[in-house]
Amino acid sequence: MEDERRKSVFKRSDKYFTISIYTIIVVIICAILVKAIFNFAETLGFFKDLLNGLAPFMVGILIAYCINPLYNWLYHKAFKKLFRGKCAKFRKYFSILISYVIFVGVIVSLLVYIIPNILNSVNDLVENAKSFSDKVYDWFEKTAKKYPDLDLERIEKSLESAYPTAIDFIQNSATNIGTKIYGTSKSVLSWIYNILMGFVVSFYLILDKKSMIRSLKRLIYAMFSEKHARIIISNLRESNDIFSDFIIGKFIDSSIIGVICFVVCTVLHIDYALIVSMVVGITNMIPYIGPFIGGFIGGLLLLVVAPGSLVKFVILVIILQQFDGFILGPMILGDKTGLRPFWILFAVTLGGWAGGILGMFLGVPIVAVVANLVDKFVNARLVKKGLIVPKIYASQKLSDRDERK
């Protein structure tokens, strides 16, 4: 009798101890949230510094996602019969080595071809930009002769009066050119460092991915019940699929768009085909607003140095955007994210604010993963309440009557 009473006391003590721990954790979280809200500027600065510090790891994850499919193919198919017996342990290292050689080789080959062409194009741009003002005045003179009723003198006087202001702006910019060069150099060196460290991070991610996955599974099973652990692992696997499919698919899609743009620009004799095609291909990595950004930058460039190619380029960008949106994009990406256009724009805007260009690209798969997890949680709660049928709730929708409510 005494033993049973002691056991009941210990059970109550364990119960109260658990409640106390949860209470302390909740109080700590609330205190952190209150401090973060009342010191919002410092909180934002902290997270931006944190993102800058994690930039090499983010770049490394991107590189690992790009190289991993090639590594899997080499490891599981190409070199499976080549390395047998005692040599089997070298298959992983050789597959990783060949994967990086191919990946880096493709990048270096492209740079060797692209950089000289870019330098030549930049030189042409500088030379043509010098005569841009003369072209503008010639255009005004021709237009004035062709349409004598137009009051172009007022416009010309406005341009002449704006000339001193433009000179002052250029002089002020030149005064601060040292600071700007320093800031640009620092940014370039930071990106070079992030890319180099990203390759190192990606190498160890691919090399130790099985060990890391195994350790993560052990940790999850140790902290949660078997049922919840399986659910968590399933959600992590699905989140990884969403993330990797989007990154790889978007990379392939944008590369194809860039190549098509370059070929068509060359055929149509659009000036600076390589530069504008690179701009279109790179900015196409940003969902929805990327093509508009690429079209605007390329169009502005051609407007200054090659106005005759502007109309053809704008028409080409519009056609490419429609082709990508309705044919190529759905063929390669499908509906990997499952996000509505509003949430994609939200993800791009939030990602750009938090992490710049890299954040604009990564914001979409991150928000897609979060939205997928929230959707699963909501559906599970609806199943628990008996509002939708279990096991098929992933594709089940509420009735029209419920949606109207």
pLDDT range class, residue 139, cuts 50, 70, 90: low
How far, rounded to the nearest angstrom, does the alpha carbon of residue 208 sit from its chain's CA centroid?
25
* CA quadruple 230, 236, 238, 239: dihedral, nearest 10: 160
226 pLDDT more than 80: yes
90 pLDDT tier (thresholds 50, 70, 90):
confident
Instruction: Write out pLDDT tens, residues 188-203.
Output: 788 888 889 999 999 9
Which 8-state DSSP code applies to residue 270?
-
Q: How far apart are CA 291 and CA 321, in angstroms?
A: 7
Q: What is the token pair recorded at 144?
A: 């004035």
Pick the range with the lowest mean pLDDT from 50-54, 157-161, 184-188, 283-287. Answer: 157-161
pLDDT bracket for residue 82 (50, 70, 90) = confident
- Average pLDDT score over residue span 122-147: 65
More confident residue, 227 or 143: 227
Grade residue 66 by pLDDT with cuts at 50, 70 and 90.
confident
Per-chain mean pLDDT for the chain: 77
The total of other beta-carbon atoms located within 10 Å of residue 274's CB is: 18
For position 79, what pLDDT does the model report? Answer: 81
pLDDT at 393: 44
Asked whether the predicted pLDDT for residue 205 surpasses 80, the reply is: yes
Of 239-253, 279-293, 338-352, 362-376, where does mean pLDDT reach its minimum?
Answer: 338-352
Report DSSP state, residue 32.
H
How many Cα atoms within 13 Å fall on the side-chain side of residue 4?
1
Mean pLDDT of the 214-226 span: 89
Closest CA to 234 of 387, 11, 394, 116: 394
Of the chain, the percentage scoring pLDDT greater than 90 comes to 8
Region 185-190 average pLDDT: 76
Q: How large is the average pLDDT for residues 82-96? A: 78
Over residues 351-399, the pLDDT tens digits come to 877 777 777 888 888 888 888 888 888 888 888 877 765 554 444 444 4
Model confidence at 215, in pLDDT bands (50, 70, 90)?
Answer: very high
Q: Decide: 235 and 56 in contact? Cβ < 8 Å.
A: no
Better-scored residue on pLDDT, 204 or 20: 204
| Range with the poorest average pLDDT among 26-30, 180-184, 250-254 | 180-184
pLDDT value for 244: 83
CA distance 256 to 78: 26
Higher pLDDT: 51 or 382? It is 382
Q: Is 50 exceeded by the pLDDT of residue 350?
A: yes
* pTM, rounded to two decimals: 0.67
Residues near 383 by beta carbon (within 8 Å), at least 6 away in sequence:
389, 390, 393
Evaluate if residue 307 carries a pLDDT over 70: yes
Least confident among 70-74, 333-337, 357-361: 333-337
Confidence at residue 199, expressed as pLDDT on a 0 to 100 scale:
92
Buried b (16+ CB within 10 A) or exposed e, 101-138: eebeeeeeeeeeeeeeeeeebeeebeeeeeeeeeeeee
Give residue 264's pLDDT band: very low, low, confident or very high (50, 70, 90): very high
**CB-based contact 283:290 (threshold 8 Å):** yes
Taking residues 228-245, what's their average pLDDT?
A: 88
Tell me what pLDDT residue 330 has. 79
Task: Compute CA 103 distance to the chain's CA centroid, rounded to the nearest angstrom.
Answer: 19
